[in-house]
Amino acid sequence: MGTVLTVDNINVYYGAIHAIKGISFEVNKGEIVTLIGANGAGKSTTLHTVSGLLRSKTGDIKFLGKSIAKTPAHKIVAKGISHVPEGRRVFQEMTVRENLEMGAFITKADKVKPNVEYVYEQFPRLKERKSQIAGTLSGGEQQMLAMGRALMSNPQLLMLDEPSMGLAPILVDQIFEIIRNLNKSGTTILLVEQNANMALSIADRAYVIETGRITLSGSGEELAKSEKVRKAYLGG
């Protein structure tokens, strides 16, 4: 198992605010790795930095052995990292099918059709609604669409930012089931979650982020049992 993503000592600032203070972690091929932590801990900022929307002042980010710390965001997608941003950012005015096609913007034309089929296979619900305007989908369906769209560029690494946000518990279960299925079919996943319980239950490894620092790391099970995590994030 090779390392897909290596994040080495990144420091990210929002103006004068030091948001990420020397975070290092890695993601291996075929894993589900999760970053958990409270609001404002720096989880989303870390993902933004990996996908090139923000820049680190120090350190390096390596994807498949090559540094991407200075690569512009649109080229990082072409290299094989797909980022599903927080809050279900679908193109509201477009249909489901068009949203998926937008996701294949950098994909070769002959791959678009099989990719759409693959996404429909993973998310049968999207196939049912392929001609529906995305803005009229339910929250869970929009989340599925955002994930499906990210899969259209054949990512080697899929980064999910709070996929459970604002969803009913039954939908959260469904979404996590899908994440597990995607992982089984070969996609490496980096998951950011506030719902620590769910995230730890499917993760191979996990990191706890507190105010811009990694304070704990270990396998999902280990952390789920850890006294500190239980108290802070799992409600005792």
- Positions touching other proteins (CB under 8 A) are 51, 53, 72-78, 82-85, 89-94, 102-103, 105-106, 129-133, 146, 149-150, 152-153
Give the residue with the Cβ less far from other proteins, 60 or 86: 86
Cα dihedral 174→176→178→182 (10° resolution):
180
Give the residue with the Cβ less far from other proteins, 8 or 118: 118
Radius of gyration over alpha carbons of the chain, in Å?
17
* Smallest distance from other proteins to CB 140, Å: 17
Q: What Cα–Cα distance (Å) separates residue 161 from each residue in 35, 96, 177?
A: 10, 20, 16
Give the residue with the Cβ less far from other proteins, 131 or 185: 131
Give the residue with the Cβ less far from other proteins, 90 or 224: 90
Helices of type H across 104-168:
109-122, 124-128, 139-151
Q: What Cα–Cα distance (Å) separates residue 215 from each residue in 20, 21, 27, 36, 48?
A: 13, 11, 17, 11, 20
* Smallest distance from other proteins to CB 194, Å: 19
